[in-house]
Amino acid sequence: MRRRGAVQVLALPAIALLAACGGGATPRAEPADLAIVGAQLVDGTGGDPLADSVVLIDDGRVRAAGPSDAVEVPEGTEVVDATGKTVIPGFVDLHAHYGGPLEATEQALKSQLYYGVTTTRSVGADDPEKVALLLEANAGRPDLPRAYTAGLGFSYPGGFNSGFTNTPTTEEEAREMVREQAALGVHYTKMWINEVAEPNRKIPPEIRSAIVEESYRNGLVPIAHINEEADGVQLLEVGLNEFMHSTVRTFGPGGGVPMEDPVPSRAFLDLCLEKDCAFAPTLSIIQNNWHFAEHPELLEDPELRAVMNPGVLERWSDEETRAAVLAADGFEGRKISFRQVQDFVKTLHDHGIKVALGTDSGTPNVPMGWGTHHELELYVEAGLTPMETLVAATATGAGRVPPVGEADFGTLTAGMSADLIVLNADPLADMRNTLQINRVMLRGEWVDREALLPSQ
């Protein structure tokens, strides 16, 4: 892409549009780097789609985006004809885990970008080396999505995921651990607050409060995995306002068994709204436990095969394994429980509470990148419209990264980072059409997708 030196620095949208060419009486706009012309535009704001649009891109950002009869393409701008295609913002996935050695993390990030996940958030399993790689991705590596990290998360001795997390037993210890994470440059602190078989292994409330307070003091955003309403209430009251998963029992004892009363209380919903709370519900980690057993034909997709963990691919390719999953005791109950989680998502959404896309990508059954698309499908199944789902997958998630509410990506509106996906088919007609990717752009540069898939 062309760089135009000093002019670029001054090329704020208004100035660029007013810039006159030498000597002429008619003002003419400065050329932009690129114009994507003729596509349906879904800009991530939730506003009506534009059937025939122009997206003008300059210096990595959207200079203007709108109907083709309102946004002029300045002479000298490279034009990409995208007639018949749909342009959407790149996806923001707020829930990923990167296991294995550093090379595996790098490949996982590349797989996400291949699938149009232009922003990812790693929530709680990163050692300092991994944090450094994610910060590199955050700073702008063209072959990796923009990444945020919660470093190493927090649990309690003997508690959920305590095998690899920070497990403070006093408030002072907790504060010190938060400061250690902050010193690495992470963006969030993640707490796992979840019952395990042994009782009283959840982080005690006073330690949670210390973590929340110390996080804010150090410029970090505290977030929490919860599975119970009472924990959500306690955290909201001490200032944390972003949750992963739901208040339907999914993990630990009782997980996956239908609840008698799965509906969140009105008081909880109102409190969530009052505190501007968001949920990243991670439907994939639940439903993908049987999705490939029900749909083995998906395993024929070469792109999915490429990003799927080889051991997991082998497991789902085995007919007997698939049959055993579908015939297992409690399988129907797990499906009912999952429907309760989907209803939870719909209830939140209907109450005006923010739902942001998060998948738990990187856990065995949620393939990097592909899983993000499948999550969209599960939100539509939950009752969100494709348009609402696309907002959840873009602007809403972007609105939760620090500094919270100030993201310069997530929508395709003037001034925002040009992170986008060009689709060959219309996602508003069928959510699965997000998989029909034509091209992906990150920070105004076309991504070399072929270079990103793992070599098999």
Q: Which residues bind Zn ion (CB under 5 A)?
A: 360
Give the nearest distance from C-beta 239 to Zn ion in angstroms. Answer: 22
Distance CA 12, CA 200 (A): 56
Angle at the Cα of 167 from the Cα atoms of 206 and 93, rounded to 5 degrees: 90
| Angle formed by the axes of helices 310-317 and 319-327, nearest 10° | 70
Beta-carbon contacts of 157 under 8 Å, excluding residues fewer than 6 positions away, are: 167, 169, 201
Q: 193, 225 in Cβ contact below 8 A?
A: yes
Residue in 240, 234, 239 with CA at minimum distance from that of residue 279: 240
Give the nearest distance from C-beta 97 to Zn ion in angstroms. Answer: 6
Rank residues 31 and 371 by Cβ distance to Zn ion and give the closer one: 371
Rank residues 281 and 386 by Cβ distance to Zn ion and give the closer one: 281
Residue owning tokens 């959510």: 431
* Neighbour tally for 376: CB within 10 Å: 25
Q: 366, 288 in Cβ contact below 8 A?
A: yes
SS3 359: coil
Distance CA 267, CA 220 (A): 28
Measured from each CB, the residue nearest to Zn ion is 360
Angle at the Cα of 147 from the Cα atoms of 144 and 149, rounded to 5 degrees: 140
Number of H helices, E strands in the chain: 17, 17
Rank residues 224 and 272 by Cβ distance to Zn ion and give the closer one: 224
Give the nearest distance from C-beta 190 to Zn ion in angstroms. Answer: 9
Rank residues 43 and 360 by Cβ distance to Zn ion and give the closer one: 360
Backbone angles phi, psi at 242, to 5 degrees: -140, 130
Give the nearest distance from C-beta 214 to Zn ion in angstroms. Answer: 22
Q: 66, 50 in Cβ contact below 8 A?
A: yes
Side by side, the strands of the sheet bearing 78-81 are 61-67, 53-58, 34-37, 78-81
Rank residues 54 and 108 by Cβ distance to Zn ion and give the closer one: 108
Give the nearest distance from C-beta 265 to Zn ion in angstroms. Answer: 25
Give the nearest distance from C-beta 123 to Zn ion in angstroms. Answer: 6
Rank residues 106 and 360 by Cβ distance to Zn ion and give the closer one: 360
Give the nearest distance from C-beta 365 to Zn ion in angstroms. Answer: 12
Q: What is the DSSP letter of 248?
A: S
Give the nearest distance from C-beta 193 to Zn ion in angstroms. Answer: 13
Rank residues 138 and 282 by Cβ distance to Zn ion and give the closer one: 282
Rank residues 167 and 250 by Cβ distance to Zn ion and give the closer one: 250
Rank residues 16 and 240 by Cβ distance to Zn ion and give the closer one: 240
Q: Which amino acid is at 417?
A: S
Give the nearest distance from C-beta 191 to Zn ion in angstroms. Answer: 12
Residue owning tokens 């620095």: 9
